[in-house]
Amino acid sequence: MPKAIGYAAQAADKPLQYFEFERRDPTASDVEIEILYCGVCHSDLHQARNEWGGTVFPCVPGHEIVGKVTRVGSNVSKYKVGDTVGVGCMVDSCRTCANCEDGYEQYCDNGFVGTYNGEDKHSGGVTFGGYSNRITVTEDFVLKVSDKLDLAGVAPLLCAGITTYSPLRHWGVTNGHKVGVVGLGGLGHMAVKLAKAMGAEVVLFTTSPSKVDDAKRLGADHVVISKDEEQMKAWRNSLDFILNTVAAPHDLDAYLSLLRLNGTMTLVGVPAESHPSPAVYNLIAKRRSLAGSLIGGIAETQEMLDFCAEHGITSDIEMIAMDDINEAYERMLKSDVKYRFVIDMATLKQK
């Protein structure tokens, strides 16, 4: 079996460090990929530190993968050696439940196979993610990536891009809608770009006054400092939809009260501790909805990648070396990312 190298967390309270393991030889339906870039999602940090529970160690995080195909199995029809491809948060699912059949593999009733910390159908062990030099994935969970875009900037689309695109589409964001985005991190900055490209008037809510100019450059029509009550008041009862990407518990009422009649706020951030329960009054007063959304299906992820290629949308990234990953996690915890770290896998060397 091909040897792989990567970075793994050996325990929740340990920094990531160099790790050697094996990938499977491609089966008839598999694609083997040399990883060029891998984005750093806040979910990687949550899981490497076991903040959601259930992390199996050693854990090799990474689910925003772009690379080149190096080998294909005999039945693979969609990809050939040399193609540029992507892999996101899932590497398989049951494929037979109603949700899988409808293209909602992320909501598989039997649980999708996560790109890392998932149950590996082949080895019986755990899956290892993209902080590594290579990966083998069944072709149905591999995405086509346009060579027209900057490939390092494409990597974060595989999670941050689809996680924001899917709810914007599901809740029908379009021309003329007023859309709020809460938090300008990896997910938030993609939400701003995508909502803008879908025709919305975008209001960005941030706790970081230093991000105001960037938010406007990224496409926000208005920027609100969420700690400023007067600024928040000005937006009451006005927004059609809010996408909340914040990775920490906070007062949801402050945002629910900004929705107009029948408006929805969708949570995509998954803090380690729950948010305080919102007040019922805020929901009934304007028939508002509070919802959640998880990444996106494979077909929708391809649709999002094609949409981004058509509109020239990529992530604004800070490229890091593999050795810098622990420092990057610390900066992410301080909301100090402009706006996604991406690991240049050429910096990962055998030790």
Write out the binding residues for Zn ion, residues 149-168 only, by CB under 5 A: 159
CA dist 212 and 115 (Å) reads 34
Does residue 270 interact with Zn ion by CB under 5 A?
A: no
223 sits near ligand NAP (criterion: CB under 6 A): no
Q: Looking at beta carbons only, is 136 or 206 nearer to ligand NAP? A: 206
Q: Which is nearer to ligand NAP, 206 or 257 (CB)?
A: 206
Q: Tell me whether residue 159 is exposed, middle or buried, using C-beta atoms within 10 angstroms of its C-beta: 0 to 12, 13 to 18, 19 or more.
A: buried
Say if residue 15 is exposed, middle or buried (CB neighbours under 10 Å; 0-12, 13-18, 19+): middle
93 belongs to the binding site for ligand NAP (CB under 6 A): no
Residue 189 to residue 176: CA distance in whole angstroms: 20
- For ligand NAP, the closer of residues 4 and 45 by Cβ is 45
Considering the rule CB under 6 A, would residue 206 count as an interface residue with ligand NAP?
yes
Count of CB atoms situated within 10 Å of the CB of 236:
12
Among 114, 185, 263, 297, binds ligand NAP (CB under 6 A): 185
CA dist., res. 11 & res. 183, Å (int): 29
Q: With binding defined as CB under 6 A, does residue 115 bind ligand NAP?
A: no
Q: Round the CA-based radius of gyration of the chain to a whole number and report it.
A: 20
**Dist CA 330 CA 328 (whole Å):** 5
Contacts with ligand NAP, 290-329, as mask; x by CB under 6 A: ---xxx----------------------------------
94: contact with Zn ion by CB under 5 A: yes
Which residues neighbour 241 within 8 Å (Cβ) at sequence distance 6 or greater?
Answer: 168, 171, 173, 177, 178, 179, 180, 259, 263, 264, 265, 266
Query: Binders of ligand NAP among 44-63, rule CB under 6 A?
Result: 46
Compute the distance between CA of residue 106 and CA of residue 297 in angstroms, rounded to an integer: 6
**Which residues 252-291 are close enough to bind ligand NAP by CB under 6 A?**
268-271
Nearer of residues 5 and 252 to ligand NAP, judged by Cβ: 252
Residue ranges binding ligand NAP (CB under 6 A): 41-43, 46, 159-160, 163, 183-188, 206-208, 211, 245-248, 250, 268-271, 293-295, 332, 335, 337
Residue ranges binding Zn ion (CB under 5 A): 41, 43, 93-94, 97, 100, 108, 110, 159
